[in-house]
Chains A and B, each alone.
Chain A
Amino acid sequence: DQQVKQNSPSLSVQEGRISILNCDYTNSMFDYFLWYKKYPAEGPTFLISISSIKDKNEDGRFTVFLNKSAKHLSLHIVPSQPGDSAVYFCAAPGGGTYKYIFGTGTRLKVLA
């Protein structure tokens, strides 16, 4: 049972436009969510998180929105830059504080 789902394996966006990456979850008990970015041959790096008591968190060009009723979160990148081209994972602590569950990732390509 995939508790955290990223249904779009890939996304292409023009430089300067908005990138929207989506994530759905099934467990309403998740109390926070995280987004990670991964470049080839490197480990994932933490990007931004959101607590379940909020519906938005912003950090520079990156904003995460949480819709608890729809069990859906999204990551917005504005404006998108070629350096944003990477795989993005959403994650949540499942089965206890220590077991982070990751989605399958979305590969973002920002076209110059």
Chain B
Amino acid sequence: NAGVTQTPKFQVLKTGQSMTLQCAQDMNHEYMSWYRQDPGMGLRLIHYSVGAGITDQGEVPNGYNVSRSTTEDFPLRLLSAAPSQTSVYFCATRREGKGSPLHFGNGTRLTVT
């Protein structure tokens, strides 16, 4: 039972390149989300999904795309990377229910030069 798996763990991109951060879960949670963590900023919500085929924007969605074709997977796409997207990215899932906690993956550290 792996929980929430993120790949890759590390990535370096040049400005303007594109890439996809992968997130897979085996917890059968309907809700999945992406956060970024920056020094002094805490964790900020990028995009989230409440089920297959349904996505919505969080606090800082610009520059990122998501899709949810299956319950298990929720990839995050950077179409044209910018240095401001240098960050640590976390995928998180939770089950339905008030007060249910988020379960996080171990993160992807992205550097854009």
Contact = CB atoms under 8 A, between A and B. Distances in A.
B4 interface: yes
Given A32-B98, A49-B99, A44 B45 contact: no
B106 A42 contact: yes
B53 interface: no
Contacts of B103: 46
Nearest to B58: A99
Interface residues of B, number: 26
Contacts of A49: 99, 101
Nearest to A44: B104
A37 to B, nearest CB: 11
A32 B102 contact: no
Contacts, number: 59
Given A32-B99, A89-B42, A103-B42, A45 B104 contact: yes
Interface string A27-68: 000011010100001111110010100000000000000000
A41, A43, A91, A98 pick with most chain B CB within 10 angstroms: A43
Contacts of B106: 41-43
Contacts of A46: 101-103
A32 B103 CA distance: 17
21 contacts: A9-B40, A31-B98, A32-B98, A32-B99, A34-B99, A41-B106, A41-B107, A42-B107, A43-B4, A43-B105, A43-B107, A44-B43, A45-B104, A46-B102, A51-B99, A89-B42, A89-B43, A98-B48, A100-B33, A102-B42, A103-B42
Interface of A: 6, 9, 31-32, 34, 36, 41-46, 49, 51, 89, 91, 97-105
